[in-house]
Structure 1
Amino acid sequence: MWYLDKDILFLILEEINNDKKTLYSCLLVNRTWCVAAVPLLWRNPWDSYNFKSLLDVILSYLSEESRNILKNQGINNLIAETYQQPLFNYIDFLKYLDLNFLEKTISSFKIEESKQIIIKNEILKLFCNSNATFIHLSIPRNISNYQLHLITGAERCLSELEFLHCNVDQNGLKDLASICKSIKTLKVDIYYCADNSGIIKLIEVQKNLHDVGFIGIHYDSSQKKINDESFYKSLEESLIKHAGSIQYLKIDWIPITGFLSYLVNLSSLEICNGWNDINYFENLSSPNLKILNVNQVPPKILANLVKNTIGQLTEISISSVDNKMVIQVIYQNCSNLKYLHLSLANNNSLTDSNLFILEIENLLVNCQCLKGLIINTCFAVFRWDQFFMILARSSPVSLFRFKFIFSGTVKLEDLKLFFDKWEDRNPMLLTINNLQCSKMQMEDLIKQYRVRGTIKKCSIDRNFISYQNFDWA
């Protein structure tokens, strides 16, 4: 019965796996609870703020042979002469392996690079020879001094890998492809490399690839952008081989082939670089596309993209919106829209600002499923008072999640009027960024309306940051 209780407890704790504060409290209940909570806490410990303490725990598991290797190299300051391993074998619980952690932590030590490489290799041997089976691996760009796939035990511990973040110029990607064939999510940083065959091979051998993201542009040694069409064409051809499984795609180059037409199950598309070939999208059909995230895409191309989704889009994020036609095409074609993020381009015209605001009202009226709205404006002149009034008057019942990135000064009385008009609606979840007025005054105002039930939750940040899309609690 004890084993059954433990199994049930583990399943319950898995439901709160992301709530580390609660999991830590479970450690103190009794031994059974502690045994169930520790593996969950050590699946992914790399977001710890105390990197040095985490490294100390890892180093305590080094074999006597590894410790002697470090000592023989004169690396005595990182390992204790006498040591006792912790009660649990935490290394065996690891499911995530973030090698950026090693780079960041070990590189901070004031020892020569050759000795840093030795430390990293001994730690990697520890990981690969443990009982851990990794499902998530992040490889930094400058980790090419050694090759993970050559370490004894790597084939076993990486055979079930589902997530990989790597670089196109990473040494050993071809060999990694012989080990890792179950990757579902692949994130690739693109830098100039003379031989790109490794990443192509890695993509081709996967059995169920469904989320692919490419970040960065080819640059040569002088940081001049390289238009390597042959490389991009090879990438696209390798993706076509996964046409039936790819659902999420992020790219930052102008397509060379018509590969997007092959991705019949694509549900999310992110475009990180301005495209200028309107003909490419004229006949492109994406009937299953639900999420669209674009940056610096001309209005006509964007219009074609939206129209060709046949009304299925539920999430849209657009940067550098400089034409009211963009908003028009959204509310004319996206009746099922749930989340919208608009970054309005810089414009000095008060008239243009007013026109955008009027079109947003049309959007609110026509998109009755809208749940969340992010507005980031770089307008030199923007009528936030008018915008808030329209939100209070025309927002559908489902809309109560807002994020505002302000430009210029926002008057507290305008926000107060907005909150007053919002009474008797769903309490709003609010994020305010790049605030120019007094944070203390803003916090006092928010406190009043939280007491009144107008605001459920609000976070305030005076600094400009880029929001992740639609990450409300």
Structure 2
Amino acid sequence: MSKLNKHILFLIFEELQNNSKFLFSCLMVNRIWCETVIPTLWRNPWCYSINYKKISLYSIITSYLSDDIKELLTKRGILILGQSLAFDYLSFCRNINIKVIDDIISIGSSLEYNRFYLQEEIYSLLVKKCPEIKYLNICGTYEIVYHPEAKVRLESLCELTCDTLIDSRYFYRLAHICQQIQRIIIINKNLKANQGTIKLIEFQKNLKYFKWVDEFEVEDDGICYWEVLEDPYTGIFNVLKKHANTLNHFDINLRYEYDDYFDYYDIYNECNYTFLHYALLELHNLKILEINSPIFLNNDVFNKKLEMVAYRNLEILEIGFTDIYQVNCMIKNSLCLRELRINDFHWNDVNFYNYSLEFIRTICENCLLIEYLTIPVFPLLENHFIEFEKLLKKCQKLQSLNFKETYYESGRELEFGDYLSNVLIREASTNLREIRIPYNIEFSLKTLETFLEKWKGRPAVSLYFDSAYFYRKDNSYMKLFDKYKIEKVIKDINV
């Protein structure tokens, strides 16, 4: 293994670039391994700041400073830890993470002015030494974009992480320099729109990934945030629609809170989420859609338009809270869907029978590649049984089945457990490795023992039960779980 040539080693290290423990161990094998792994480690050294002590990174970086600069900084009382360098480390660097680098720089001095002076020198050095910057995180000091050589270094930028507290003029500068950014991650800390972020997104020519995370603070705890929110969203989401042909990953986390005084409808009616509704209707090329917001409620106009949209390339759909009917609309043409993750289904007694039945049919007829499936607990009725069994027969790639508590018939929990046990033994593929059971499905001791006994010969299954009290009140269940864990029928158990 230690005699592999550099090309093979490089390919291995590229595949394992996120495994810091492995990469650092490779430094000690021999010189060839060390020389080959250094470029991989130093492409983004800031992500290893925990493993690779910050003081070591600080020492290496300050070693690049000229003797005159070192002397001047030392006179100012700034700690300089230069050392001889075995490699030209910074020549491999393609990533600038301002927040981490500022933390490393703080080693030099506790005085704010000294840190500012040191920042200027270090960022000037990084911009000069890094041949091209592919990844930039400017959540912190952002003057780096105005460095004289920044234009040349940032033209090839692929990924940008930023926050909305940054002055718009810095985004205007970036929009002028960088127009081939493929991934943009925005941390929203502003209660109002940042026009610079809108312009930056507008100028991109090949945007594929967009992520938005709300992290703003409201100073007065007695004020609801939507009372002071000045719509930081509409401009951004309107301009995103212009990237519908290229955008394939859309990840949105909007701030919303529920308490004893407000339910789902209250928060929806207080906050206008139409900016997200109509952006989604345009983004037809999405492969991954992740949404955490109370958007899919109480909007008949949106529902009608959603019926006409086809997300044909969708592979992963993850939503915090949604209506069963709307999920049906989104996945009815998604023949490539592999993961459907729903944290909570909204439902009502009037339409639940038809919508839940249609949901099962939609999965069965269109989502044959599904591997992870969230499914609502459905009524104990013959039509639902027939369709669910068809789903298990057709969806042979299914690995994880996650039931969510929705429909509930008090007193029939064990009956549902009997049915589910029988149908899983009879129809589930050998790929099924994980089952999550909510409180409104329960297994009698006899049913559970029969299920586990007949599961023998398959790959071990992980079982997760929400109704912990039901199983823990009788020690016989715990003994049963222990027995089948020893026999490797159960891989993991959570009760």
Above 0.5 in TM-score? yes
Which of residues 298, 303, 309 in structure 1 aligns to 2:323? 298
Equivalent residue, structure 1, for 2:265: none
Query: Take 1:175 and 1:315, find their aligned partners in 2: how far apart are those partners?
Result: 39
Return closer, same or farther for 1:334/1:227 CA change in 2, 3 Å cut-off: farther
Which of residues 272, 286, 289 in structure 2 aligns to 1:266? 286
Equivalent residue, structure 1, for 2:428: 396
| 2:300 partner amino acid | I
Return closer, same or farther for 1:318/1:12 CA change in 2, 3 Å cut-off: closer
Equivalent residue, structure 2, for 1:204: 202
Equivalent residue, structure 1, for 2:259: none
Which of residues 378, 400, 408 in structure 2 aligns to 1:373? 400
Query: Take 1:412 and 1:116, find their aligned partners in 2: how far apart are those partners?
Result: 65
- Are the aligned partners of 2:59 and 2:83 in contact in 1 as well (CA < 8 Å)? no
- Are the aligned partners of 1:180 and 1:206 in contact in 2 as well (CA < 8 Å)? yes
Q: C-alpha offsets along residues 278-318 of structure 1, whole Å, 9 cap, x if unaligned?
A: 321313312424232222223443343344x3655332111
Q: C-alpha offsets along residues 394-430 of structure 1, whole Å, 9 cap, x if unaligned?
A: 553253232648879x9997876654332222x1464
Equivalent residue, structure 2, for 1:90: 89
Which of residues 269, 284, 301 in structure 2 aligns to 1:279? 301
Equivalent residue, structure 1, for 2:454: 421
| 1:279 partner amino acid | V
- Are the aligned partners of 2:163 and 2:186 in contact in 1 as well (CA < 8 Å)? yes
Shift of 1:147: 1.7
Query: Take 1:115 and 1:387, find their aligned partners in 2: how far apart are those partners?
Result: 70
Query: Take 2:122 and 2:182, find their aligned partners in 1: how far apart are those partners?
Result: 26
Give SS of 2:343's match: strand
Query: Take 1:387 and 1:69, find their aligned partners in 2: how far apart are those partners?
Result: 78
Which of residues 318, 336, 339 in structure 1 aligns to 2:342? 318
Return closer, same or farther for 1:401/1:44 CA change in 2, 3 Å cut-off: farther
Give SS of 1:297's match: strand
What are the within-5 Å matches in structure 2 for residues 217-296 of structure 1?
221-222=219-220, 224-225=225-226, 226=228, 228-229=230-231, 231-251=232-252, 252=254, 254-256=273-275, 258-275=278-295, 276=297, 277-284=299-306, 285-290=309-314, 291-296=316-321
**Number of residue pairs matched?**
436
Query: Take 1:343 and 1:107, find their aligned partners in 2: how far apart are those partners?
Result: 50
Equivalent residue, structure 2, for 1:71: 74
- Are the aligned partners of 1:192 and 1:220 in contact in 2 as well (CA < 8 Å)? no
Shift of 1:377: 5.8
Which of residues 341, 356, 372 in structure 2 aligns to 1:340? 372
Instruction: Report which stretch shifted further, 312-321 or 102-111.
Output: 102-111
- Are the aligned partners of 1:249 and 1:266 in contact in 2 as well (CA < 8 Å)? yes
Which of residues 167, 175, 187 in structure 2 aligns to 1:177? 175
Q: C-alpha offsets along residues 70-102 of structure 1, whole Å, 9 cap, x if unaligned?
A: 4344333xx33xx42331222222233333323
Return closer, same or farther for 1:95/1:374 CA change in 2, 3 Å cut-off: farther
Query: Take 1:219 and 1:38, find their aligned partners in 2: how far apart are those partners?
Result: 41
| 1:27 partner amino acid | L
Give SS of 1:181's match: coil
Query: Take 2:346 and 2:183, find their aligned partners in 1: how far apart are those partners?
Result: 33
- Are the aligned partners of 1:312 and 1:334 in contact in 2 as well (CA < 8 Å)? no
TM-score (norm 1): 0.74
Query: Take 1:16 and 1:113, find their aligned partners in 2: how far apart are those partners?
Result: 38
Equivalent residue, structure 2, for 1:468: none
- Are the aligned partners of 1:392 and 1:421 in contact in 2 as well (CA < 8 Å)? no
Query: Take 2:390 and 2:138, find their aligned partners in 1: how far apart are those partners?
Result: 47
Shift of 1:208: 0.7
| 2:305 partner amino acid | N
Query: Take 1:68 and 1:186, find their aligned partners in 2: how far apart are those partners?
Result: 40
Query: Take 1:212 and 1:174, find their aligned partners in 2: how far apart are those partners?
Result: 18
Return closer, same or farther for 1:125/1:404 CA change in 2, 3 Å cut-off: farther
> Which one has the largest radius of gyration?
2
Equivalent residue, structure 1, for 2:486: 448
List gaps (5 residues or longer) in structure 1.
345-351, 463-473
Shift of 1:16: 3.7
Query: Take 1:353 and 1:94, find their aligned partners in 2: how far apart are those partners?
Result: 53
What percent of counterpart residues are identical? 23
| 1:166 partner amino acid | C
Equivalent residue, structure 1, for 2:146: 150
Query: Take 1:269 and 1:319, find their aligned partners in 2: how far apart are those partners?
Result: 14
- Are the aligned partners of 1:281 and 1:305 in contact in 2 as well (CA < 8 Å)? no
Shift of 1:67: 3.7
TM-score (norm 2): 0.72
- Are the aligned partners of 1:164 and 1:186 in contact in 2 as well (CA < 8 Å)? yes
What are the within-5 Å matches in structure 2 for residues 39-58 of structure 1?
39-48=39-48, 50=50, 53-58=53-58
More helix by share: 2
Give SS of 2:289's match: strand
Return closer, same or farther for 1:192/1:27 CA change in 2, 3 Å cut-off: closer
Return closer, same or farther for 1:241/1:123 CA change in 2, 3 Å cut-off: same
Return closer, same or farther for 1:57/1:365 CA change in 2, 3 Å cut-off: same
